[in-house]
Amino acid sequence: MKKNILYAIALAVSFVGCSRPQDKRTEIENKVETLLHKMTLEEKLGQMNQLSPWNFEELADRVRKGEVGSILNVVNSEEINKIQNIAVEESRLGIPILVSRDVIHGYKTIFPIPLGQAATFNPEVVEKGARVAAVEASADGIRWTFAPMIDVSRDPRWGRIAESCGEDPYLNAVMGTAMIKGFQGDSLNDPTAIAACAKHFVAYGASEGGKDYNSTFIPERVLRNVYLPPFKAAVDAGCATFMTSFNDNDGIPGTANKFVLKDILRDEWKFDGMVVTDWTSTAEMINHGFCTDGKDAAEKSVNAGVDMEMVSETFIKNLKQSVAEGKVSMETIDNAVRNILRLKFRLGLFENPYIVTPQSVKYAEEHLLAAKTAAEQSVILLKNDAQTLPLTDKVKTVAVVGPMADAPYEQMGTWVFDGEKEHTQTPLKAIREMYGDKVNVIFEQGLAYSRDKNTSGIAKAVNAARRADVVVCFVGEESILSGEAHSLANLDLQGAQSQLIKSLAATGKPVVTVVMAGRQLTISDEVEASDAVLYSFHPGTMGGPAIADILFGKVNPSGKTPVTFPRMTGQAPIYYAHNNTGRPANPTEMLIDEIPVEAGQTSVGCRSFYLDAGNSPLFPFGYGLSYTNFEYSDLKLASDKLTVDGEVNVSVNLKNAGKYDGTEVVQLYVQDKVGSVTRPVKELKAFQRVELKAGESKTVTFSLPVSDLAFWRYDMSYGVEAGDFKLWVGTNSAEGLSAEFSVMN
Ligand code: NOJ
């Protein structure tokens, strides 16, 4: 009998523990409805209000009155627990507060900037980074982050390219998905899970002229083919929230764009998460000349499908009247509040409003190791003449030079509100600590900071170079030069950094240039002057040890460019997946210095290129060398005649033909040769990181569903078009073995 009772209890417990997702959903929906029915209109508008408080007492008072649904930028765990206690115990309905923060590429342990993470082409590493960030942030009570930013970014003038995963829709989709998984973990209900936010919806990355917040002019087809796919992937990955964008696209600000917020996001994609505005973007619609006042802005925004307003408080101040006037329906308000409450229930905030994760997780050993791995894989070897790298035993003295060699704050990059420079390990520190017993290290900064124009320190740096066997020069951008509102019209290295590199090169000593920046810079001359170049973007807390191990050959670089590198700023926007013109450039075009004086108008050929910059980039998308040498051979297509429901099965032999073990990112590109609308010259469709020992070979296979070749066609239907295709498998977007196939209906 007793046994039976125990068995029944165990069964009941196991049922509760394994409640089916459908049951869980229904349970949450029921709770949402029950709570919603108890709420006054004022309380509903309170839930739709997000504040960035300056004054604790004022915040406490408003929370008590039910005027706040979420806060951002409070990171003091004691204050958060106090506020939560007021919300739960002292507000009429006890609805917990949703605490948010921009945790973009780490909370305390800072990972490489997202652009650097994209360069790893390794979603596992990226997912781990987001998981670490979530564990650390949740230790301070943060349960919602405003990441990933999955704005396709094709213009390095735009400072926020740093925060993106680069120019490619597919890469943004893969990396965005990885970040969402990492932030949200296995279940939002886990106390270490933080809700992700796909932003900025949408087309913000196309800001005209690369100037932040600027207008965009992206037609629906390009929106759907290029800018929306990462966001669709975010919905598929279960991303809990979306953020509207600042820009007006084709005249409609993102915060009132019903077409994208309702028709696409809700109706087509069935998103049941929550939509928040960007910071004061509702009120900013007045500046846009789209709304007359705050009330008009609130109405347009909420009627377009926004649920929560960040900071500008036009909802809470105006929507009661708008409802009374019939300009906003009660149903619209209720739907917004449903989306907010659903998220709070999903996060388990009602059961666990207080902080659960221990503080000790910050900068945990495991987190630092993960950040180091991410930094290692984010570094791109752009040049390595005469095998300058890795540094061998013959190198007895290294001159470490440059404004980024020992700049702990700067190497963390943009969007670091909580990382501390005291915990950052710089290259100088790492080289000294990790390799100081093998080499003599001389340090001469040369320039005080990246914008420094004072050249008086260069002579000392040159002198250090003369005394060394090799000079490693760390240049780049201070973190303030990229990120939000930090656009540039000139992408050359700032200050006297170029002069520094050239002066070092003039010594005749081998020069290794390491660039730490928030974007791809125009560095043709500096690459020319250097024997080897490593591009690391801003590598974060563990950048130093990662770079040190790469310099000394313990780690073989494997990063690939997630963006195309222009030769000159004027080439921007620049991206590999462009459409062809009717007059594509020939590789042999005559450039400006070769054109004879008084040349005839048409003598240089009427083709699409720049007279001064040509048509090719400095480095193509997907580019990155290794200390070893990978050889591709034997490309095989299982079939070159396929149907729309078939699969492109392709294999290639990859050999590590060099002396070092290494990892190659094998990339698959496809071109739809003729379409009902013009199609990109190639598009990345898949990639794999393949590890090979020196001398080892492997057959690498890809199975690409033909349905992945679908696009938005002439008549705005979505599908694959029958016809001829070309594919490439190779080491970057400009090289590769190719084959052709056709798709039949
Ligand atoms: C404005 C930025 O555009 C957005 O990305 C960020 O999440 C919010 N501010 C909150 O800080």
Q: How far is the centre of ligand 1, averaged over its atoms, from the C-alpha of 455 (Å)? A: 37
User: What pLDDT does residue 17 have?
Assistant: 46
Domain boundaries, position 62: 47-98
Cβ proximity of 43 and 94 under 8 Å: no
User: What pLDDT does residue 18 have?
Assistant: 52
Provide the residue type at 128 as one letter: K
Probe residue for ligand 1, chosen from 51, 101, 102 as the CB with the greatest number of ligand atoms within 8 Å: 102
572-609 per-residue burial string, b: 16 or more CB within 10 A, e: under 16: bbbbbbbeeeeeeeeeebeeeeeeeeeeeeeebeeeeb
Q: How far is the centre of ligand 1, averaged over its atoms, from the C-alpha of 507 (Å)? A: 46
Cβ proximity of 102 and 483 under 8 Å: no
Provide the residue type at 138 as one letter: S
What is the C-alpha to C-alpha distance for residues 541 and 102, in angstroms, rounded to an integer? 17
Q: How far is the centre of ligand 1, averaged over its atoms, from the C-alpha of 55 (Å)? A: 21
Provide the residue type at 478 as one letter: E
Cβ partners under 8 Å of residue 737, min gap 6? 632, 633, 635, 652, 728, 729, 730
Of 63, 83, 98, the last residue of a domain is 98
Probe residue for ligand 1, chosen from 243, 308, 417 as the CB with the greatest number of ligand atoms within 8 Å: 243
CB of 484 shorter than 6 A to ligand 1: yes
CB of 687 shorter than 6 A to ligand 1: no
What is the C-alpha to C-alpha distance for residues 117 and 109, in angstroms, rounded to an integer? 14
In a domain, 663, yes or no: yes
Q: Is 550 exposed, middle or buried (0-12, 13-18, 19+ CB in 10 A)?
A: buried
CB of 199 shorter than 6 A to ligand 1: yes
In a domain, 689, yes or no: yes
What is the C-alpha to C-alpha distance for residues 27 and 739, in angstroms, rounded to an integer? 53
Q: Which domain CATH number covers 710? A: 2.60.40.10
User: What pLDDT does residue 6 have?
Assistant: 41
Of 60, 83, 98, the last residue of a domain is 98
CB of 43 shorter than 6 A to ligand 1: no
Coil/strand/helix, residue 631: strand
CB of 52 shorter than 6 A to ligand 1: no
Residue with tokens 């990492």: 182
Q: How far is the centre of ligand 1, averaged over its atoms, from the C-alpha of 277 (Å)? A: 9
Cβ proximity of 145 and 196 under 8 Å: yes
In a domain, 476, yes or no: no
Of 61, 80, 98, the last residue of a domain is 98
CB of 284 shorter than 6 A to ligand 1: no
pLDDT in tens, 575-584: 999 999 999 9
Cβ partners under 8 Å of residue 5, min gap 6? none
Probe residue for ligand 1, chosen from 201, 245, 310, 418 as the CB with the greatest number of ligand atoms within 8 Å: 310
CA distances from 642 to 512, 700, 709 (A): 48, 21, 12
User: What pLDDT does residue 592 have?
Assistant: 95
Cβ proximity of 158 and 213 under 8 Å: no
Q: Which residues are catalytic?
A: 278
> CA torsion, points 627, 633, 638, 644, in degrees to nearest 10?
60
In a domain, 60, yes or no: yes
CB of 623 shorter than 6 A to ligand 1: no
Residue with tokens 């290290």: 441
Closest C-alpha residue for ligand 1 atom 4: 278
In a domain, 72, yes or no: yes
In a domain, 728, yes or no: yes
CB atoms within 10 A of CB 11: 10
Q: How far is the centre of ligand 1, averaged over its atoms, from the C-alpha of 102 (Å)? A: 7
What is the C-alpha to C-alpha distance for residues 117 and 124, in angstroms, rounded to an integer? 11
Nearest ligand 1 atom to the CA of 146 is 7
What is the C-alpha to C-alpha distance for residues 340 and 32, in angstroms, rounded to an integer? 9
pLDDT under 50: residue ranges of the chain: 1-17
User: What pLDDT does residue 588 have?
Assistant: 84
What is the C-alpha to C-alpha distance for residues 364 and 559, in angstroms, rounded to an integer? 25
Closest C-alpha residue for ligand 1 atom 11: 102
Coil/strand/helix, residue 390: coil
Q: How far is the centre of ligand 1, averaged over its atoms, from the C-alpha of 245 (Å)? A: 9
Coil/strand/helix, residue 361: helix
Q: How far is the centre of ligand 1, averaged over its atoms, from the C-alpha of 278 (Å)? A: 6
Q: How far is the centre of ligand 1, averaged over its atoms, from the C-alpha of 49 (Å)? A: 16
User: What pLDDT does residue 4 have?
Assistant: 44
Probe residue for ligand 1, chosen from 100, 146, 207, 311 as the CB with the greatest number of ligand atoms within 8 Å: 146
CB of 146 shorter than 6 A to ligand 1: yes
In a domain, 655, yes or no: yes
Closest C-alpha residue for ligand 1 atom 10: 279
CB of 102 shorter than 6 A to ligand 1: yes
Per-position DSSP letters for 675-739, written without gaps between them = -SS--BS-EEEEEEEEEE-TT-EEEEEEEEEGGGG-EE-TTS-EE---EEEEEEEEEETTEEEEE
Q: At what angle do helices 294-304 and 330-346 cross, to 10 degrees?
A: 70
Query: What total of structural domains would you count in the chain?
Result: 2
Q: How far is the centre of ligand 1, averaged over its atoms, from the C-alpha of 279 (Å)? A: 6
CB of 538 shorter than 6 A to ligand 1: no
Q: What is the distance of C-alpha 494 from the center of its chain?
A: 24
- How does the average pLDDT of the chain come out, rounded? 96
CB of 279 shorter than 6 A to ligand 1: yes
CB atoms within 10 A of CB 19: 12
CB of 204 shorter than 6 A to ligand 1: no
In a domain, 727, yes or no: yes
Residue with tokens 């043709």: 524
CA distances from 185 to 107, 128, 165, 182, 192 (A): 16, 10, 20, 5, 8
